Structure 1
Amino acid sequence: MKDSDAPRGPQARHGPLHRGRDAGGFPATRTPAGVVRSAASTRDLAVLDARISACYACPRLVAWREEVARVKRASFREEDYWGRPVPGLGPADARIAVVGLAPAAHGGNRTGRVFTGDRSGDWIFAALWRAGLANQPTSTHIGDGLELTGVRVAAAVRCAPPDNAPTPQERDTCNPWLARELALLPDLRAIVVLGGFGWTALWPVLAAAGYPLPRPRPAFGHGVEVGLEGPRGPLTLLGSYHVSQQNTFTGRLTEPMLDAVLNRATEVAGIAARE
């Protein structure tokens, strides 16, 4: 099954979101306890995306994402910024999840699509295309024709943070969204984690989902692989350096390195390679 995000639902329009209700008609979420309740009660990915897009639970992140959307970068001054939390992207029958850190201020926070509109997105979507998980190697804006097959892409924190650095409290507040998203992927068999922040964020999510966790926790590293047995069968975690410019410009992360991790994910998930 494929997933495309031609404009619809909470991503069908840009501009400031009404603070009372989201585009799907759900009440805005304003507190960490509200995130827990809203995430736990969601039974559908499209509804989850709408509820994530209407989250105001972290005041610092709300202020920053909206300031960036208002001030804008000069090269994007004619565009309407999304300026809200960015939901995940990909079909409900995904066997692989890719989890990053957070949206970029002038990337996902501008376009409304995770990992879209910046150099990090250029890297990850090109790699997904090479792995046979995307129908095209680029992701520039909602409605550009991108379709994902067998993979769901998300972030540990859904709002663009100042200096690309969410606080531990913001990470923990956002965790229920990620936990529910992964729970709504019944065929999930592999998670590719981009960077140490996402690696740390994922452990409490998996514990809440009923996966017995190894002790001590495996340290993050590129190519690290951890096998878990849980309520829905085996799950493999695969670590990769983040696709940040700091890593890709310096050569710490190369295309072959990223391809190797994604190809391993398709192997353990039982997804046939592109012919």
Structure 2
Amino acid sequence: MCSSAAYPLRAAAEALTSADLDARLVECRACPRLVAWREETASTKRAEFRDWQYWGRPVPAFGPADAAMLVVGLAPAAHGGNRTGRMFTGDRAGDVLFEALYDLGLASQATATSRDDGLELYGVRVTAPVHCAPPGNRPTPEERDTCRPWLVRELEELRPRLRSVVVLGAFGWQAVLPTLHEAGWPVPRPRPAFGHGVRTTLAPADGCSAAPLTVFGCYHVSQRNVFTGRLTGEMLREVLAEAARAAGLG
């Protein structure tokens, strides 16, 4: 494993495929605070998961490598993705997201409990700008920027077919727009502000014959947003359905 802060930039650039990228990503130890937290959480565990062998490493993206639609969250949950090793798997936020994708015919089942539960995504890939569980669900700007090369390289791999991106929450929005710029899409300045239901269409990426890319803003599927009614299942499905149509999936 590599503890150098330069590791993500070098390793991501050298990745030849999405599978190669994921294999390199799970070895990353570039952010000391995140490494300490993810491993402490994996060791101490939560009482209800005491029989689990926690993943305790960076969590790679999930879904087909040629997806036309990308869903971007914030970071893995300490007892969700950090436990199961799969994005949005094993926590309530994931329950909300995957149920909505299932309702739209974009997932094979409405629940996500473990890496081997049989869940498949159809034309959709799920990722995050930060791949390790952060304390308090709050990555620092420095951690976000250190992790950025992974998402840049992932977007470059997806670029030929990618048609829409759904960004969950303001943190993800602020992380994704400069990342899209680095991956070749011309992002306007000033950058569009985040809001639920906001959308912006980017011209085809540099050096790529792909169609324009539509980026959608959506409130995060956090427990707080769902419990307070700030985000309802209907609101989430509406944004995902629009993104699916933009991606040619519905």
Amino acid at match of 1:271: L
| Alpha-carbon distance in structure 1 between the residues aligned to 2:222 and 2:10 | 33
Instruction: State the partner residue of 1:52.
Output: 25
Instruction: State the partner residue of 1:37.
Output: 10
Residue of 139, 163, 168 corresponding to 1:189:
163
| Match status 1:259 vs 2:237 | yes
| Match status 1:250 vs 2:233 | no
Contact 1:52 1:85 in 2 (8 A): yes
| Alpha-carbon distance in structure 2 between the residues aligned to 1:121 and 1:45 | 22
SS of the residue corresponding to residue 121 of structure 2 reads strand
Contact 2:76 2:87 in 1 (8 A): yes
Instruction: State the partner residue of 2:196.
Output: 222
Provide structure 2 residue ranges, at least 5 long, that are not aligned to the other structure. none
Residue of 25, 33, 37 corresponding to 1:64:
37
- 1:136-155 mapped onto 2 (5 Å cutoff): 136-155=109-128
| Alpha-carbon distance in structure 1 between the residues aligned to 2:200 and 2:4 | 33
Instruction: State the partner residue of 1:212.
Output: 186
Tell me how far 1:32 sits from its aligned partner. Answer: 2.9
Instruction: State the partner residue of 2:83.
Output: 110
Tell me how far 1:206 sits from its aligned partner. Answer: 1.1
Tell me how far 1:269 sits from its aligned partner. Answer: 0.7
Amino acid at match of 2:238: A
Instruction: State the partner residue of 1:234.
Output: 212
| Alpha-carbon distance in structure 2 between the residues aligned to 1:120 and 1:179 | 24
| Match status 1:98 vs 2:76 | no
What does the per-residue CA deviation read over 1:175-217, in whole Å, with 9 as the maximum and x for residues that have no partner? 1101111111121000000000000001221111222211211
Tell me how far 1:30 sits from its aligned partner. Answer: 2.2
Does the C-alpha gap of structure 1 residues 32 and 109 become closer, same or farther in structure 2, counting only changes over 3 Å? same
TM-score, normalised by the number of residues in structure 2: 0.96
Instruction: State the partner residue of 2:136.
Output: 163
| Alpha-carbon distance in structure 1 between the residues aligned to 2:235 and 2:90 | 22
| Alpha-carbon distance in structure 1 between the residues aligned to 2:5 and 2:157 | 21
| Alpha-carbon distance in structure 1 between the residues aligned to 2:218 and 2:143 | 23
What does the per-residue CA deviation read over 1:214-243, in whole Å, with 9 as the maximum and x for residues that have no partner? 121111000000000032330000000000
Residue of 74, 78, 81 corresponding to 2:47:
74
Instruction: State the partner residue of 1:25.
Output: none
| Alpha-carbon distance in structure 2 between the residues aligned to 1:147 and 1:208 | 29
What does the per-residue CA deviation read over 1:59-113, in whole Å, with 9 as the maximum and x for residues that have no partner? 0000000000000001111111000000000112210000000000000000001
| Alpha-carbon distance in structure 1 between the residues aligned to 2:3 and 2:106 | 35
Amino acid at match of 2:233: E
Instruction: State the partner residue of 1:5.
Output: none
**Structure 1 range deviating more: 60-69 or 173-182:** 173-182
| Alpha-carbon distance in structure 2 between the residues aligned to 1:49 and 1:210 | 21
| Alpha-carbon distance in structure 2 between the residues aligned to 1:159 and 1:39 | 16
| Alpha-carbon distance in structure 2 between the residues aligned to 1:190 and 1:60 | 33
TM-score, normalised by the number of residues in structure 1: 0.87
Q: Figure out how many residues of one structure are paired with residues of the other and give that number.
A: 245
What does the per-residue CA deviation read over 1:19-70, in whole Å, with 9 as the maximum and x for residues that have no partner? xxxxxxxxx3322322111101112111111111111000000000000000
Amino acid at match of 1:154: T
Q: Percent identity?
A: 62
Residue of 149, 156, 161 corresponding to 1:176:
149
Amino acid at match of 1:208: E
Stretches (4+) displaced over 6 A = none
| Alpha-carbon distance in structure 1 between the residues aligned to 2:232 and 2:11 | 39
Amino acid at match of 1:163: G
Instruction: State the partner residue of 2:175.
Output: 201
Provide structure 1 residue ranges, at least 5 long, that are not aligned to the other structure. 1-27
